[in-house]
Amino acid sequence: MALIVETGAGLSNSESYASVAYFLSYHAARGNISAAEMTTAEIEASLRKASDYMTQRYRNSWAGYRRFITQALDWPRIEIVIDTYHYLDYSIVPVEVQNACCELALKSFTANLLPDTTQTKISTTVGPISVTYDKNSRQGTRYKSIDSILQPYLSDCVTGVNTRLVRA
């Protein structure tokens, strides 16, 4: 089945923020050889998984609002403030969102992006090596590089970044 890529039109049946061509170009420019070894079907499946992950992880964290109620994915969005006086064009999917999708797609090829979690181990001993984990640490995987790429488009509660207030 051919991958349906969100173009910024707010498609009701889109499955990915990035195309196979964009994925290959993105990873080729970064020297990620393993991406070039993937088949088209594997890339399409990975892009779908990456977009699904982005929806599940960021749906309630994106700044602004979905452009259309009927759109399948979270982008395009409206009322995204780029700086004090400029708004993001509401008819695009930002390059950072496409790049994050490509990064996650490559990760999804070798690992589950949303693995099931279990109780955190407090201590593990193997021979002379002993490891104790912080009981308050996260159990799930968090991709800080993806959060950093997407930071301009996330609400402050996710990133922990303070917003600069400007008096009108």
Q: What is the pLDDT of residues 21-80, one digit of tens each?
A: 999 999 999 999 999 999 999 999 999 999 999 999 999 999 999 999 999 999 999 999
In a domain, residue 10? The reply is no
In a domain, residue 105? The reply is yes
Number of domains in the chain: 1
In a domain, residue 27? The reply is yes
Among 80-84, 98-102, 117-121, the least confident range:
117-121
In a domain, residue 8? The reply is no
State how far the Cα of 89 lies from the Cα of 82, in Å rounded to an integer. 10
In a domain, residue 15? The reply is no
Look up the domain containing 50 and give its range.
20-159
Nearest to 62 by CA among 1, 143, 124, 151: 151
State how far the Cα of 153 lies from the Cα of 27, in Å rounded to an integer. 22
In a domain, residue 139? The reply is yes
In a domain, residue 4? The reply is no
Predicted TM-score (pTM) of the model is 0.78
In a domain, residue 52? The reply is yes
